[in-house]
Structure 1
Amino acid sequence: MKKSILFVALTSALATSAHAESSVRLYGLVDTAYGFQQVKVTETLANGTLSSSVKSRTLGMDNGFAGGSYWGLEGEEDLGNGTRALFALESGFNSSNGSAEEAGVLFNGHAYLGLSNDNWGSLTIGHQGNVADEFMSDVDPFGTDFGQAGAGSVFGDSLGATYSRSIKYMSPDMEGFQFGTAIIYNKTKQTLNGASTREDNTGVSFGLKYGTDKAFFGLVYDTLKSTGSVRSHSWAIGGSYDFDVAKVYGAFGQQRDGMFGDLFPLAKEQENNGVVEATPWNGKGYRQNAWLAGLSAPVGDNGTVMFSYQGISAKNKVASEPVKSKAHIFSVGYSHDLSKRTAVYGFASYGKAKNRLYTSTGALDYTEKVKSTQVAIGLRHYF
């Protein structure tokens, strides 16, 4: 009887100790909205003749805009001496129909494993966000989300890309200062009967930030090269300051020799399938400037109103279809917290762009005008 009691006591003590040293947490966001979107693309030849006009409209329920829906598992184990093992597995899904966000990919958000320490920072390997993904959300009143209203419309994925097969180091917070860097290196060579094929995906992501309770400043840089493409470069700088009665935001960035993700003014409505795709002149010679100015202000105890203006200027003189592009996006939104985890939101965004395409001799070929309107009301819940 005494042995049985001793065995139960020891088992309970070991279980309690193991529970204290390691933990796994389920987290996520369910975000569903009802919205309207309209995109109109008009092409006019150099002589002023209308070439084509395409308009598409969408009205109905969709996956949320305020952050997208996802679920994930994250955990850590105390290894002693202040060091912890950690992991994260995250998967996006469409809350309007329950489907996976990306077919054939189980964890398209994050899938990484690493070590961390309060003194020297963290080192993780796997499928994870670039440094800007952790540093730059506070340069936009919409948090780089909210569909067309978010900074991704003009900055693309440069403020929130996800890289596979990457190694990332993040320093600890040093009195408000923090820096991070990530390396993407994946080279494969296969030889068959003397003929070789290569896969070459390499890149670097770097960032530096400073933050206090009221102020934020960030600087990020990414460079990427994939098989068969030129090396692309992207950098951005931004910040925000909270005056209590209102918070102001600003950002500026450039991309060279390639786009980092899809960008609003460079979208072209395809008449055959209605899918918005990037224009074919992306690549070497591509030069882009993007900027953002924003404002948010509290409304009562639980509400926040948001405004932003975004712009972009892009050109590519060496492409097979030389082009110049300019765009402007104006957005307004409101979010109301029903609790610490649940909020309702609404936003409206209007953007317009003009793409001017030229022949190889420099003569104007045609002008493409893009107008896009997006309005949505949604509900989101964090768990």
Structure 2
Amino acid sequence: MKKITMALCVAGCLCTAAHAQGTVTLYGIVDAGLGYASNQRVATSKGSLGSPVAYRGASSYSFASGTWSGSRWGLKGKEDLGDGLAAVFQLESGFNIGNGQLGQGGRMFGRQSWMGLSSTRYGTLTMGRQYDPVVDFVGSIGPGSFLTGMGAHPGDLDNIDNQSRENNSVKYVSPKFGGFTFGALYGFGNQAGSVKNQNTWSVGGQYVNGPFAIGAAYLYATNAFGANGGAWTGSYDGTFASSINEGFASSKSMQIVAAASTYQIGAVTMGLSYSNTQYRAGAVSTFKGNATYNSVGGTVSWQASPALRVAAGYDFTRGSSVGGEAAPKYHQLNLASYYYLSKRTALYGLVGYQKASGKTLDAFGNVVNATASVGDVGNGISSAGDTQTLVRVGVRHTF
């Protein structure tokens, strides 16, 4: 990282002796590569309720931006206020290195934009657009930390791979108590007449003791009907761009329970993860009742040498039955390798395979065959059939 350190002293001409010591850090990641998808869906007709979209499958060769880590630049700031108290902020902008466009829906600081107060004694309170406890306490040790977003639970329905952020939110994270940290977040819907409408709240915690780590979290989000381009209109900035869950974008509310654990033995780190995601229908939703997805996965990573790390993972996701049809099921296998040319520059190669079966809903509420879509919505490419292979090779540089 490149650091810009500044002594923030009030000029003598202002007739004050007050002063503060602060730092501002400029940092970033650039990640570029090439990708292959064996079965990318291409629409051959328009769809509507009662008439599903027709798709054909085609192989895809493409430029890939941000597969391992989303390309970004950002600023972190801290001002020491004395007695263990500090003012802190972070502004982080995501972008597509292939075309220069801003990420996260074109937001200038779409990845993170928050400020707050941090105390070594009492913890940290922040406000703005930020990650929730699912990301903080589960995602940090989840499958994506081994395998990138390509190894996330299919569709990243549980947000363990941090595809979503919470707008207009207030978050508290505790200091560490003997290896245990906990936190809570509340996101305001900013809707007149109702505090609960379009709000989000989440709690979670993580315990670390030597080679062992375990984390768990809960999130609940409400949403007025009318998903805009796959993104919820409330404080929860979720996405429904994957064929796995696009049929539930009209949910009245969503609930996530997630947990993950890792254990390191020498050069080998093993991980387990589980999540339960529920979509609950409202009066004007395009589906009825509740839809539930359960995901369970296992990962293993081996530091073969100081420069080379390899990893593998398996995930099984099962959704609830739709209209009495066979429940959707997704089996996913992932392989990953990372080779460091230096501390800040590395090459990577990733392979993902998924097999889908059963029935689900499309974006119009029609019952359709479940189709494969490897990994999260940031890397996943919805297929036209029940199988898909995704390959990515690239280079990542941090500063």
TM-score by length of 2: 0.75
Contact 1:257 1:283 in 2 (8 A): no
Alignment of 1:226-237 (within 5 A): 226-228=223-225, 229-237=251-259
The equivalent of 1:4 in structure 2 is: none
Alignment of 1:27-106 (within 5 A): 27-39=27-39, 54-106=56-108
Cα–Cα, structure 1 residues 129 and 142, in superposed 2: closer, same or farther, change >3 Å?
Answer: closer
Partner of 2:28: helix, strand, or coil?
strand
Deviates more, 1:234-243 or 1:250-259: 250-259
Deviation at 1:18, TM superposition (A): 9.3
Q: How far apart in 2 are the matches of 1:166 and 1:296?
A: 34
Q: Find the partner of 2:166 among 155, 163, 168.
A: 163
Contact 1:347 1:375 in 2 (8 A): yes
Cα–Cα, structure 1 residues 199 and 243, in superposed 2: closer, same or farther, change >3 Å?
Answer: closer
The answer on 1:251 being equivalent to 2:273 is yes
Partner of 2:25: helix, strand, or coil?
strand
Q: Deviations over 1:188-222 (max 9, x none)?
A: 238xxxxxx99921121111110133111001110
Partner of 2:170: helix, strand, or coil?
strand
Q: Find the partner of 1:288 among 275, 293, 297.
A: 293
Cα–Cα, structure 1 residues 230 and 20, in superposed 2: closer, same or farther, change >3 Å?
Answer: same
Deviation at 1:122, TM superposition (A): 0.1
The equivalent of 2:234 in structure 1 is: none
Residue segments in structure 2 that go unaligned for 5+ positions in a row: 1-9, 43-52, 226-250, 362-366, 372-384
The structure whose residues are more often strand, as a share, is 1
Q: How far apart in 2 are the matches of 1:297 and 1:213?
A: 18
Q: Find the partner of 1:203 among 183, 200, 205.
A: 200
The answer on 1:373 being equivalent to 2:392 is no
Contact 2:272 2:298 in 1 (8 A): yes
Alignment of 1:265-344 (within 5 A): 284-317=289-322, 324-344=327-347
Deviation at 1:144, TM superposition (A): 6.8
Pairwise CA RMSD of aligned residues? 3.1
The equivalent of 1:26 in structure 2 is: 26
Q: How far apart in 2 are the matches of 1:70 and 1:233?
A: 29
Alignment of 1:211-222 (within 5 A): 211-222=208-219
Q: How far apart in 2 are the matches of 1:283 and 1:67?
A: 37
Task: Report how many aligned residue pairs link the two structures.
Answer: 330
Partner of 1:136: helix, strand, or coil?
helix
Q: Find the partner of 2:179 among 170, 176, 180.
A: 176
Deviation at 1:148, TM superposition (A): 2.6
Q: How far apart in 2 are the matches of 1:367 and 1:338?
A: 41
Q: Which has the larger radius of gyration?
A: 1
Residue segments in structure 1 that go unaligned for 5+ positions in a row: 1-9, 43-50, 191-196, 260-279, 359-363
Contact 2:152 2:160 in 1 (8 A): no
Structure 2 counterpart of 1:230, which letter?
K
Contact 2:196 2:222 in 1 (8 A): no
